[in-house]
Amino acid sequence: MLTAHLSLAQNANCACCTEDHGAFDFWLGSWEVYLPNGAVAGENRIEKIQGGCVLREEWKGSNGNFTGTSYNFYNPGTGLWEQIWLDSSGTVLKLKGKRVDNQMILQSEGTLNEDQSESVQRITWTLLENGNVRQVWEVLRNGVAESLLFDGLYKKKQ
């Protein structure tokens, strides 16, 4: 009984200690990221900040010249996860989505192409059975995957 009371008290003091807020915790840690050909793409560190309410990503490409940061959070008002990505090339990407089984699937709002088709950027993080994470970044045109922008395998740093 005391344990249940302490647990409730801790959750009352922790605004982001819900199951929904923890849905992306499988991405936490320091990672080496590999391309499908086995080459190192870079390294990534994901940590909780702001009392556990935000996941901050710090990316560094293998050449050292490309870096990026993302802020990821669960928005209880919408029931969705959101990400804002900012990088050294000036790119800003805003994504929204949710976890489905062992995948976090986030995508951008649609943009209208010259031919009146709609393009969406979708990033899927898949938790693998061995604890690694696969990240696939695609561009969809009218809901169909048109191009692959990134395919990375995350392995925890030793």
Give the domain CATH number at 11.
2.40.128.20
Write out the two tokens for 13: 């003091």
Question: pLDDT at position 117, please?
Answer: 83
Stated pTM of the model: 0.89
Q: CA–CA separation, 88 vs 74, rounded Å?
A: 25
Query: pLDDT tens-digit profile of 108-140?
Result: 998 888 888 889 999 999 999 999 999 999 999
- pLDDT of 103 above 70: yes
Query: Is the torsion defined by CA of 109, 152, 102, 16 positive or negative?
Result: negative
CA dihedral 145, 150, 154, 158 (to 10 degrees): 180
Q: Which residue has the higher pLDDT, 134 or 143?
A: 134
Q: Which residue range is the domain that position 6 belongs to?
A: 2-156
Q: How many domains does the chain have?
A: 1
Confidence of residue 12 (pLDDT cuts 50, 70, 90): low
- The pLDDT confidence band at residue 26, using thresholds 50, 70 and 90, is very high
CA distance 34 to 37: 8
